Amino acid sequence: MKTGIIQQHNTADKKYNMQRLAESIKALASEGAELIILQELHNSLYFCQVENVNNFDLAEPIPGPSTEFFGSLAKELGVVIVTSLFEKRAAGLYHNTAVVIERDGTIAGKYRKMHIPDDPAYYEKFYFTPGDLGFHPIDTSVGRLGVLVCWDQWYPEAARLMALQGAEMLIYPTAIGFESSDEPAEQQRQREAWTTVQRGHAVANGLPVVAVNRVGHETDPSGMTGGIEFWGSSFVAGPQGELLYRASDHEEERKVIDIDLAHSEQVRRWWPFLRDRRIDKYTDIVKRFID
Protein backbone atom coordinates (compact mmCIF):
# COMPACT_ATOMS: atom_id res chain seq x y z
CA MET A 1 0.00 0.00 0.00
CA LYS A 2 1.34 3.40 -0.96
CA THR A 3 1.45 5.41 2.26
CA GLY A 4 2.11 9.13 2.42
CA ILE A 5 3.59 10.95 5.41
CA ILE A 6 3.78 14.71 6.04
CA GLN A 7 6.45 16.02 8.43
CA GLN A 8 5.75 19.73 8.80
CA HIS A 9 6.90 22.77 10.80
CA ASN A 10 3.91 24.68 12.12
CA THR A 11 3.22 28.36 12.77
CA ALA A 12 0.70 30.23 14.91
CA ASP A 13 -1.49 30.71 11.82
CA LYS A 14 -3.91 27.76 11.85
CA LYS A 15 -5.35 28.57 8.43
CA TYR A 16 -1.88 28.69 6.90
CA ASN A 17 -0.89 25.37 8.49
CA MET A 18 -4.00 23.68 7.09
CA GLN A 19 -3.45 25.22 3.66
CA ARG A 20 0.08 23.81 3.54
CA LEU A 21 -1.16 20.41 4.68
CA ALA A 22 -3.74 20.46 1.89
CA GLU A 23 -1.03 21.22 -0.66
CA SER A 24 1.07 18.32 0.61
CA ILE A 25 -1.91 15.95 0.65
CA LYS A 26 -2.64 16.79 -2.99
CA ALA A 27 0.99 16.32 -3.95
CA LEU A 28 1.17 12.91 -2.25
CA ALA A 29 -2.10 11.82 -3.85
CA SER A 30 -0.70 12.76 -7.25
CA GLU A 31 2.21 10.41 -6.50
CA GLY A 32 -0.18 7.55 -5.87
CA ALA A 33 -0.63 7.66 -2.10
CA GLU A 34 -3.68 5.69 -0.94
CA LEU A 35 -3.26 6.48 2.79
CA ILE A 36 -1.90 9.80 4.10
CA ILE A 37 -0.88 10.29 7.73
CA LEU A 38 -0.51 13.65 9.46
CA GLN A 39 1.42 14.56 12.63
CA GLU A 40 -0.09 15.08 16.07
CA LEU A 41 -2.20 18.25 16.57
CA HIS A 42 -1.22 19.33 13.07
CA ASN A 43 -3.46 22.38 12.77
CA SER A 44 -1.63 24.56 15.30
CA LEU A 45 1.51 25.07 17.29
CA TYR A 46 2.05 22.55 20.08
CA PHE A 47 0.17 24.60 22.66
CA CYS A 48 0.83 22.21 25.57
CA GLN A 49 4.15 23.90 26.41
CA VAL A 50 2.12 26.11 28.79
CA GLU A 51 -1.04 25.82 30.87
CA ASN A 52 -3.30 28.55 29.49
CA VAL A 53 -7.10 28.30 29.51
CA ASN A 54 -7.31 30.44 26.37
CA ASN A 55 -5.78 27.57 24.41
CA PHE A 56 -9.04 25.66 24.79
CA ASP A 57 -10.32 28.00 22.06
CA LEU A 58 -8.28 25.88 19.62
CA ALA A 59 -10.54 22.87 20.23
CA GLU A 60 -13.45 21.92 18.00
CA PRO A 61 -16.21 19.31 17.85
CA ILE A 62 -15.99 16.10 15.85
CA PRO A 63 -17.59 16.19 13.31
CA GLY A 64 -16.59 19.80 12.84
CA PRO A 65 -14.66 22.25 10.66
CA SER A 66 -11.49 20.16 10.39
CA THR A 67 -13.23 16.88 9.58
CA GLU A 68 -15.19 18.76 6.92
CA PHE A 69 -11.99 20.30 5.53
CA PHE A 70 -10.02 17.06 5.38
CA GLY A 71 -13.11 15.08 4.41
CA SER A 72 -13.51 17.23 1.31
CA LEU A 73 -9.88 16.60 0.40
CA ALA A 74 -10.22 12.85 0.96
CA LYS A 75 -13.29 12.71 -1.28
CA GLU A 76 -11.76 14.89 -3.98
CA LEU A 77 -8.54 12.87 -4.10
CA GLY A 78 -9.87 9.40 -3.26
CA VAL A 79 -7.48 8.87 -0.32
CA VAL A 80 -7.76 7.85 3.32
CA ILE A 81 -6.40 10.49 5.72
CA VAL A 82 -5.36 10.05 9.36
CA THR A 83 -5.82 13.36 11.18
CA SER A 84 -5.02 14.45 14.75
CA LEU A 85 -7.35 17.00 16.36
CA PHE A 86 -8.00 18.84 19.62
CA GLU A 87 -11.53 17.62 20.31
CA LYS A 88 -14.12 19.61 22.25
CA ARG A 89 -16.54 16.95 23.41
CA ALA A 90 -18.48 19.19 25.82
CA ALA A 91 -17.86 22.27 27.92
CA GLY A 92 -14.81 21.46 30.05
CA LEU A 93 -14.28 18.07 28.41
CA TYR A 94 -11.55 17.79 25.78
CA HIS A 95 -9.56 15.01 24.13
CA ASN A 96 -6.52 14.54 21.92
CA THR A 97 -8.26 12.64 19.15
CA ALA A 98 -7.14 10.94 15.95
CA VAL A 99 -9.84 10.85 13.27
CA VAL A 100 -9.59 8.61 10.21
CA ILE A 101 -11.29 10.01 7.13
CA GLU A 102 -12.45 7.50 4.51
CA ARG A 103 -11.85 8.11 0.80
CA ASP A 104 -15.50 9.14 0.35
CA GLY A 105 -15.03 11.94 2.90
CA THR A 106 -16.88 10.24 5.75
CA ILE A 107 -15.44 9.53 9.21
CA ALA A 108 -14.29 5.90 9.34
CA GLY A 109 -13.56 6.09 13.06
CA LYS A 110 -11.72 7.90 15.79
CA TYR A 111 -9.33 7.13 18.63
CA ARG A 112 -8.92 9.24 21.76
CA LYS A 113 -5.36 9.29 23.12
CA MET A 114 -5.20 7.01 26.15
CA HIS A 115 -1.83 7.78 27.71
CA ILE A 116 -1.56 11.47 28.60
CA PRO A 117 1.88 12.87 29.61
CA ASP A 118 2.51 15.62 32.11
CA ASP A 119 6.12 16.72 31.86
CA PRO A 120 7.88 20.09 31.58
CA ALA A 121 6.82 21.61 28.22
CA TYR A 122 4.34 18.74 27.68
CA TYR A 123 1.49 19.72 30.01
CA GLU A 124 -1.10 17.59 28.28
CA LYS A 125 -3.01 16.55 31.41
CA PHE A 126 -4.11 20.18 31.74
CA TYR A 127 -5.87 19.94 28.38
CA PHE A 128 -6.81 16.35 27.61
CA THR A 129 -9.07 13.86 29.35
CA PRO A 130 -7.72 10.31 28.87
CA GLY A 131 -9.45 8.45 26.08
CA ASP A 132 -12.48 6.30 26.77
CA LEU A 133 -12.85 4.49 23.45
CA GLY A 134 -10.28 1.83 24.27
CA PHE A 135 -7.71 0.32 21.91
CA HIS A 136 -9.62 -0.70 18.79
CA PRO A 137 -8.45 -0.69 15.15
CA ILE A 138 -10.39 1.32 12.59
CA ASP A 139 -11.63 -0.42 9.46
CA THR A 140 -11.05 1.45 6.20
CA SER A 141 -11.01 0.73 2.47
CA VAL A 142 -7.20 0.41 2.67
CA GLY A 143 -7.13 -1.94 5.65
CA ARG A 144 -7.64 -2.19 9.40
CA LEU A 145 -5.58 0.58 10.98
CA GLY A 146 -4.25 0.48 14.54
CA VAL A 147 -4.19 4.23 15.21
CA LEU A 148 -2.59 5.45 18.44
CA VAL A 149 -1.16 8.87 19.38
CA CYS A 150 2.34 9.96 20.48
CA TRP A 151 2.81 9.03 24.17
CA ASP A 152 0.93 5.79 23.43
CA GLN A 153 3.93 4.77 21.32
CA TRP A 154 6.01 3.94 24.40
CA TYR A 155 3.55 1.30 25.65
CA PRO A 156 3.80 -2.24 24.26
CA GLU A 157 0.39 -3.08 25.74
CA ALA A 158 -1.35 -0.60 23.43
CA ALA A 159 0.36 -1.99 20.33
CA ARG A 160 -0.38 -5.58 21.37
CA LEU A 161 -4.08 -4.92 21.95
CA MET A 162 -4.34 -3.38 18.49
CA ALA A 163 -2.55 -6.38 16.97
CA LEU A 164 -4.78 -8.87 18.79
CA GLN A 165 -7.82 -7.25 17.18
CA GLY A 166 -6.48 -7.65 13.67
CA ALA A 167 -4.75 -4.33 13.04
CA GLU A 168 -2.74 -4.54 9.83
CA MET A 169 -0.59 -1.51 10.61
CA LEU A 170 0.31 0.56 13.68
CA ILE A 171 0.13 4.34 13.18
CA TYR A 172 1.42 7.03 15.54
CA PRO A 173 0.81 10.74 14.86
CA THR A 174 3.45 12.41 17.05
CA ALA A 175 4.76 15.66 18.51
CA ILE A 176 8.05 15.03 20.32
CA GLY A 177 11.36 16.82 20.45
CA PHE A 178 14.45 17.87 22.36
CA GLU A 179 14.46 20.01 25.47
CA SER A 180 16.89 22.84 24.77
CA SER A 181 18.96 22.29 27.93
CA ASP A 182 19.76 18.64 27.16
CA GLU A 183 23.26 17.82 25.98
CA PRO A 184 23.55 16.71 22.33
CA ALA A 185 24.41 13.15 23.32
CA GLU A 186 21.33 12.93 25.54
CA GLN A 187 19.18 14.35 22.76
CA GLN A 188 20.31 11.63 20.38
CA ARG A 189 19.77 8.90 23.01
CA GLN A 190 16.17 10.06 23.36
CA ARG A 191 15.58 10.17 19.62
CA GLU A 192 17.05 6.70 19.12
CA ALA A 193 15.05 5.30 22.06
CA TRP A 194 11.88 6.68 20.49
CA THR A 195 12.67 4.98 17.19
CA THR A 196 13.82 1.75 18.80
CA VAL A 197 10.78 1.16 21.00
CA GLN A 198 8.42 1.54 18.05
CA ARG A 199 10.51 -0.74 15.85
CA GLY A 200 10.20 -3.18 18.75
CA HIS A 201 6.41 -2.99 18.48
CA ALA A 202 6.76 -3.85 14.79
CA VAL A 203 8.86 -6.92 15.60
CA ALA A 204 6.81 -8.11 18.58
CA ASN A 205 3.56 -7.92 16.62
CA GLY A 206 4.76 -8.67 13.09
CA LEU A 207 3.25 -5.45 11.77
CA PRO A 208 4.48 -2.35 9.92
CA VAL A 209 4.70 0.83 12.00
CA VAL A 210 4.31 4.40 10.75
CA ALA A 211 5.32 7.28 13.05
CA VAL A 212 4.83 10.85 11.78
CA ASN A 213 6.43 13.60 13.87
CA ARG A 214 6.47 17.37 13.51
CA VAL A 215 9.76 19.20 12.95
CA GLY A 216 11.35 22.55 13.74
CA HIS A 217 11.62 24.85 16.74
CA GLU A 218 8.61 26.13 18.65
CA THR A 219 9.18 28.73 21.36
CA ASP A 220 7.84 28.46 24.90
CA PRO A 221 5.29 31.30 25.26
CA SER A 222 6.05 31.51 29.01
CA GLY A 223 9.78 31.97 28.47
CA MET A 224 10.45 29.42 31.21
CA THR A 225 12.28 27.10 28.81
CA GLY A 226 14.08 27.46 25.51
CA GLY A 227 11.15 25.82 23.73
CA ILE A 228 11.06 22.51 21.90
CA GLU A 229 13.12 21.48 18.91
CA PHE A 230 10.88 18.84 17.37
CA TRP A 231 13.17 16.15 16.03
CA GLY A 232 11.24 15.04 12.97
CA SER A 233 12.73 11.65 12.05
CA SER A 234 9.33 10.34 10.94
CA PHE A 235 9.75 6.75 9.83
CA VAL A 236 8.17 3.63 8.44
CA ALA A 237 9.30 0.24 9.70
CA GLY A 238 8.42 -3.17 8.31
CA PRO A 239 7.19 -6.15 10.38
CA GLN A 240 10.74 -7.18 11.27
CA GLY A 241 11.59 -3.69 12.45
CA GLU A 242 13.45 -2.89 9.25
CA LEU A 243 13.50 0.80 8.38
CA LEU A 244 11.75 1.33 5.07
CA TYR A 245 12.18 5.09 5.34
CA ARG A 246 13.38 7.65 7.87
CA ALA A 247 12.95 11.38 7.41
CA SER A 248 15.33 14.20 8.31
CA ASP A 249 15.64 15.36 11.91
CA HIS A 250 15.47 19.05 10.93
CA GLU A 251 13.76 19.46 7.54
CA GLU A 252 10.16 19.28 6.39
CA GLU A 253 9.37 16.26 4.25
CA ARG A 254 6.53 14.60 2.43
CA LYS A 255 7.08 11.13 1.10
CA VAL A 256 5.24 8.14 -0.33
CA ILE A 257 6.45 4.77 0.97
CA ASP A 258 5.21 1.46 -0.43
CA ILE A 259 4.31 -0.92 2.40
CA ASP A 260 3.78 -4.61 1.67
CA LEU A 261 0.97 -5.55 4.07
CA ALA A 262 1.02 -9.17 2.89
CA HIS A 263 4.58 -9.56 4.19
CA SER A 264 3.28 -9.54 7.77
CA GLU A 265 1.64 -12.91 7.22
CA GLN A 266 4.94 -14.49 6.20
CA VAL A 267 6.83 -12.88 9.10
CA ARG A 268 4.27 -14.18 11.58
CA ARG A 269 4.75 -17.68 10.16
CA TRP A 270 8.49 -17.45 10.77
CA TRP A 271 8.12 -15.86 14.21
CA PRO A 272 4.79 -17.08 15.68
CA PHE A 273 4.82 -14.88 18.77
CA LEU A 274 1.02 -14.84 18.96
CA ARG A 275 0.96 -18.64 18.98
CA ASP A 276 3.43 -18.94 21.83
CA ARG A 277 2.03 -16.27 24.16
CA ARG A 278 1.35 -17.68 27.65
CA ILE A 279 -2.00 -15.99 28.11
CA ASP A 280 -2.69 -18.19 31.14
CA LYS A 281 0.22 -16.54 33.00
CA TYR A 282 -0.26 -12.86 32.25
CA THR A 283 -2.96 -11.94 34.79
CA ASP A 284 -0.57 -9.73 36.79
CA ILE A 285 -0.07 -7.41 33.82
CA VAL A 286 -3.23 -5.50 34.82
CA LYS A 287 -1.68 -4.52 38.18
CA ARG A 288 0.03 -1.14 38.63
CA PHE A 289 3.02 -2.81 40.32
CA ILE A 290 3.75 -6.26 41.73
CA ASP A 291 5.05 -6.02 45.30
Query: At residue 139, what is the residue type?
Result: D
Q: How far apart are CA 168 and CA 165, in angstroms?
A: 9
pTM over 0.75: yes
Q: How many CB atoms lie within 10 A of CB 231?
A: 23
Whether the CB-CB separation of 24 and 52 falls below 8 Å is answered with: no
Task: Please report the pLDDT score of residue 153 as a whole number.
Answer: 98
Instruction: Give the SS3 label for residue 109.
Output: strand
Alpha helical stretches, state H, the chain: 14-30, 65-77, 156-164, 184-205, 263-270, 273-276
Residue ranges of the domains in the chain?
2-286
Superfamily of domain 2-286: Carbon-nitrogen hydrolase (3.60.110.10)
- pLDDT tens, 76-104? 999 999 999 999 999 999 999 999 999 99
Residue of 264, 252, 212, 231 lying closest to 3 (CA atoms): 212
Output the furthest CA–CA distance in the chain (Å, rounded). 56
How do the pLDDT tens digits run along the chain, 291 residues long? Answer: 999 999 999 999 999 999 999 999 999 999 999 999 999 999 999 999 999 999 999 999 999 999 999 999 999 999 999 999 999 999 999 999 999 999 999 999 999 999 999 998 999 999 999 999 999 999 999 999 999 999 999 999 999 999 999 999 999 999 999 987 889 999 999 999 999 999 999 999 999 999 999 999 999 999 988 999 999 999 999 999 999 999 999 999 999 999 999 999 999 999 999 999 999 999 999 999 999
Residue of 143, 125, 54, 128 lying closest to 97 (CA atoms): 128
Q: How far apart are CA 4 and CA 1, in angstroms?
A: 10
Catalytic site positions = 40, 113, 150
Q: How many CB atoms lie within 10 A of CB 211?
A: 28
